[in-house]
Amino acid sequence: MLYGSRFGDLCHTEIIGTSTCGRELVAFHLSSDPAHGSHPRLLVTAQIHAAEYVAGYVARALLRTLLREYGSDPTVSALLRQARVTIVPLLNPDGAHLVWQHRGWVGFKGSRVTANGVDPNRNFPFVPIPGRRAWNSGSGWRWSPYYRGPQPLSEPECLALAQLCKRERFCAAVHFHSFGGVVFFPARSHPQSAPVFDVFRSVFPAAQRHCRYRPVPEPASALAGQLDLFLLHAFGTPSATVEVSRPSLALARRPLRWLHFFSWANPSNPDRWVENDVPATVCALLALLERTGGRPLPAEHPELAEQVPE
Ligand SMILES: [Zn+2]
């Protein structure tokens, strides 16, 4: 129990797996119900890409906000009374360690990949889609920054997350990345998902304090192998990618930093983006809960779930 007895009734931690290099993957489960009984499930993850530190920073700030504000903030209280929120703030600890070890000078590929050089957000099972190069947005070339790996779920980090999702059947999911200041989600690939994803056109940007992120619906061909499309089709979990922050003017003033992908992926003032995104995410999670009725949508491709071992 990382948060001690004060938060013991609200939060419990779980090691959902280990990375290739043996680092623990930690999930925090938060709910007002200590037994975590039949509450609907919501998922928040971050930093599946190695250098996207600000994404994990915002996810940990969300975790602290939920713990501290329960009982005083009405939106936080309503959320934790009605749902169990699972937060996995660091999905790619090996990649993050390499970025830290090299002070951010890891190149574009190093800013994304796992210890095995795989882009973990191209490593999920996918539905083959007809058309040239449309069957997977990842690459089969192992030197590519978008290398999808030798087979789906080859990366232990992706397997652990897929197993968690198979067990929990989340009604919705949000994944923090950086740095585009946009929200990606699958377009027109599931008949009942549009009103759910509408949260990212309305509730979420309306609650952002400094900068409203642009909603970007993407075709399935651009998303195959990615977490959003996998969760939607395998488990019926509407799933969106929130790209935290935008490159700052500070980058323009320091041209050498243009080669430093850590500087692209992370703002110099992360607390501004916590202010911008954490309250908005709390509102979005509550809206996602309401619009899904606390249940996942029907899965269009349940055979993808069968690729995930128990
Ligand atoms: Zn990313």
128: CATH: 3.40.630.10
Q: Reduce the DSSP state of residue 147 to 3 states and report it.
A: strand
Whether residue 267 contacts residue 65, with contact meaning beta carbons closer than 8 Å, is answered with no
CA of 154 to the centre of ligand 1 (A): 19
Q: Could you list the residue range(s) of the whole structural domain that residue 148 is in?
A: 5-306
Average pLDDT, the chain: 91
Task: Look at residues 289, 280, 133 and name the one whose alpha carbon lies nearest to residue 211.
Answer: 280
Helices and strands counted in the chain (H then E) = 13, 8
Q: So what's the pLDDT on residue 96?
A: 97
Per-residue pLDDT tens for 248-292? Answer: 766 667 777 777 888 889 998 999 999 999 999 999 999 999 999
CA of 39 to the centre of ligand 1 (A): 30
As residues whose CB is below 5 A from the ion ligand 1, the structure lists 49, 177
CA of 122 to the centre of ligand 1 (A): 11
CA of 49 to the centre of ligand 1 (A): 5
Give me the phi and psi of 86, to 5 degrees please. Answer: -105, 125
Instruction: pLDDT band for 222, please (50, 70, 90 cuts).
Output: confident
> For the chain, how many structural domains are there in total?
1
Contacts of 222 (CB under 8 A, 6+ apart): 137
CA of 147 to the centre of ligand 1 (A): 14
Instruction: Give percent of the chain above pLDDT 90.
Output: 77
Query: With left for phi above 0 and alpha for psi between -120 and 50, is residue 87 left, alpha or beta?
Result: beta
CA of 180 to the centre of ligand 1 (A): 9
Residue 204 CA: distances (Å) to CA of 174, 191, 232, 276, 279: 11, 22, 20, 10, 9
Per-residue pLDDT tens for 76-134? Answer: 999 999 999 999 999 999 999 999 999 999 999 999 999 999 999 999 998 776 655 55
Whether residue 263 contacts residue 198, with contact meaning beta carbons closer than 8 Å, is answered with no
Q: So what's the pLDDT on residue 3?
A: 46
CA distance 284 to 207: 9
CA of 261 to the centre of ligand 1 (A): 12
Q: What is the pTM of this model?
A: 0.95
The pLDDT of 171-197, averaged and rounded, is 93
Whether residue 12 contacts residue 36, with contact meaning beta carbons closer than 8 Å, is answered with yes
CA of 51 to the centre of ligand 1 (A): 8
CA of 168 to the centre of ligand 1 (A): 24
Whether residue 215 contacts residue 183, with contact meaning beta carbons closer than 8 Å, is answered with yes
Instruction: Give percent of the chain above pLDDT 70.
Output: 92
CA of 104 to the centre of ligand 1 (A): 15
CA of 73 to the centre of ligand 1 (A): 31
CA of 178 to the centre of ligand 1 (A): 6
Is the pLDDT confidence value at 57 over 90? Answer: yes
The pLDDT of 208-229, averaged and rounded, is 90
Q: So what's the pLDDT on residue 248?
A: 73
Residues 143-181: b if buried by 16+ CB within 10 A, e if exposed: ebbbbbbeebbbbbbbbbbbbbbbebebbbbbbbbbbbb
* 288: amino acid identity, one letter: L
CA of 175 to the centre of ligand 1 (A): 9
